[in-house]
Chains A and B, each alone.
With several copies, the nearest count.
Chain A
Amino acid sequence: MSVNFLISQAKNIQKVIDENAPEIETLDQNIGDGDHIFNIQRGLKLVIELEGTIKDLPLPKALNTIAMKVLSGIGGSSGALFGTFFISMAKSPDLDKDVDFNKACEMIIGGVKAMKERGKADVGEKTMMDVLIPVSEKLNEIKNNNSDMKQGLNEVIKIAEDRMLSTKDMLATKGRASFLGERAKGHIDPGARSSQLIIDTICKSVINQ
């Protein structure tokens, strides 16, 4: 994982998110307050705009800059959660050494753990954690078993999609949707959908490298 990788992933993700913007907007209008798509789009725009500033920085410094930008520039639940994710990433040990696939997995796992602590949401509460926690667990498995990376990432893609879809029939107990009780049922969680799209994009891009 390099600064270059981060920026180019952000650009890929931006494309996919923009393509799916109307759907994500509608999802947050259905069971939230409708701003999730703008929060995500703003975050991506801000990170991509950092390119000039961070492209020659060491990884930990670059991650820290991204973290602060995401934290201060997004707002809402997404800002706090993704900000927390990047703060955790930036604090990973040994970032001055080369970051290989296993190290990257560790960083993501640590980031998701930090998000879980921040938001206090676990699987089954109809949030983005329904996607991120199982993905993180799968990455842990791939890393520990030294499984085939491409096959593993294909499984990650599948897990993310299944878990995203699984939020549809859940009652929400965290986030704005929790205020709706039964009325939240039948709608996919917007954060689960955007997280799934992000994971899908990164995995596919890594697989095709």
Chain B
Amino acid sequence: MKKFINKPDDFLNESLSGFGKAHSDIIKVSLDPSFVSRKNKTKEGKVSLISGGGSGHEPMHGGFVGHGMLDAACPGFVFSAPAPDQMQAAAEHVDSGAGVLFIVKNYSGDIMNFQMGAEMYSGKNASIVTNDDVAVEDSTFTTGRRGVAATVLVEKIVGSLAENGGSLDECKTLGEKVNKNAGTMGVAFTSCTVPAAGKPTFDIGDDEMEFGVGIHGEPGRKREKIQPSKTIVGNILDAILDNLKPQKNEKTLLFVNGMGGTPLTELYLVYDDACQILQSKGVEVTRSLVGNYCTSLEMQGSSITILKCDEEILKNWDAPVHTAAMRWGM
């Protein structure tokens, strides 16, 4: 296994500790139970936002703790949901009395652990569940779709509303709207390697890609031969638009997310392809985000998220944010 690592068991704590040192102006790291919180106390009356999930998706979520976004993040082991005591401790640490909104990605493990954390926490709280991955066929009989990259957008946009005094209910409502307005689909060229496993999660041929891959290297819609970027991007966008059905000239945010191992040059090329295709379909791109925000360790690949934007969403997207991984306006 080719990683900067000392012992697999220490991997997460050592990395968190480095993260804490590198960004001590913005956040602090607690270990046992582990969570990342803002350096400064949540101001009175402000709803606290807490997210979390398995590690391996960095900068999500620890990199999004700070002004205008999360109040705390609970990192689980690599690709394993965090435990309820982390959520409980984080909530107790950050809640200023206005309540806590848990932002949870739609996986059984995350749902159950966040639920238990919420039950263990005595303060006022609510939860939203993101499920933006259109690669998964939705059905009322199943768990539904996976929560993936749009979680970043939910955290940013609701973070702004919370910062500006939105109530717990209002924050939950906005978060659910953003989630409903967003669709994501990803493709992987290579696998990732979980430190504890020490070997790639899946095998993939030299000319193959996994279309519709999950952010843990889970199988997607199909295994295909690799294709030119324009074809891949076109197929991804078809799946998303089919699902979101934006109005003619509806404003959108286009988010090209790297899975971790794909160079920025390629992500910008994907962004260019996507802009061209969207333009030809009468979809207006008014905001953009390109980079590695919701990763799968060192996996090579990319996901595209489209978020339909109304004025409320745009206003909160544009608002200042100051975290380790996303910063503007301050």
Contact = CB atoms under 8 A, between A and B. Distances in A.
Q: Do chains A and B touch in the complex (CB under 8 A)?
A: yes
Contacts of B97: none
In this complex, which of A34, A175, A176 has the most chain B Cβ atoms within 10 angstroms of its Cβ?
A34
B146 A179 contact: yes
B186 interface: no
B115 to A, nearest CB: 8
A174 B143 contact: yes
Contact of A75 (B81, B135, B143, B145): B81
Contact of A29 (B76, B115, B141, B201): B201
B81 A33 contact: no
A79 to B, nearest CB: 6
Interface string B101-113: 0000001110011
In this complex, which of B79, B141, B214 has the most chain A Cβ atoms within 10 angstroms of its Cβ?
B79
Contacts of B112: 77, 80-81, 84, 118-119
A75 B83 contact: yes
A33 B218 contact: yes
Given A35-B196, A179-B146, 5 more contacts: A76-B109, A76-B113, A176-B107, A178-B143, A180-B219
Interface string A109-138: 000000000110000000000000000000
Interface string B66-91: 00000000001111111111100000
Given A33-B201, A35-B196, A179-B218, A77 B109 contact: yes
A42 B82 CA distance: 14
Contacts of B247: none
Given A34-B217, A178-B142, A179-B145, A72 B84 contact: yes
A79 B197 contact: no
A78 B137 CA distance: 25
Give the interface SS of chain A, mostly helix, strand, loop or mixed. Answer: helix
B33 interface: yes
A173 interface: yes
B202 interface: yes
Interface residues of A, number: 36
Contact of A180 (B82, B116, B201, B218): B218
A147 B329 CA distance: 72
B54 interface: yes
A71 B135 CA distance: 31
A174 B81 contact: no
B216 interface: yes
B75 to A, nearest CB: 10
A35 B193 CA distance: 11
Given A119-B112, A173-B142, A179-B136, A76 B80 contact: yes
25 contacts: A25-B197, A29-B201, A29-B202, A31-B219, A33-B54, A33-B79, A33-B201, A33-B214, A33-B217, A34-B79, A34-B216, A34-B217, A38-B194, A39-B77, A71-B84, A74-B83, A75-B113, A79-B113, A176-B214, A176-B216, A178-B143, A179-B136, A179-B146, A179-B218, A181-B137
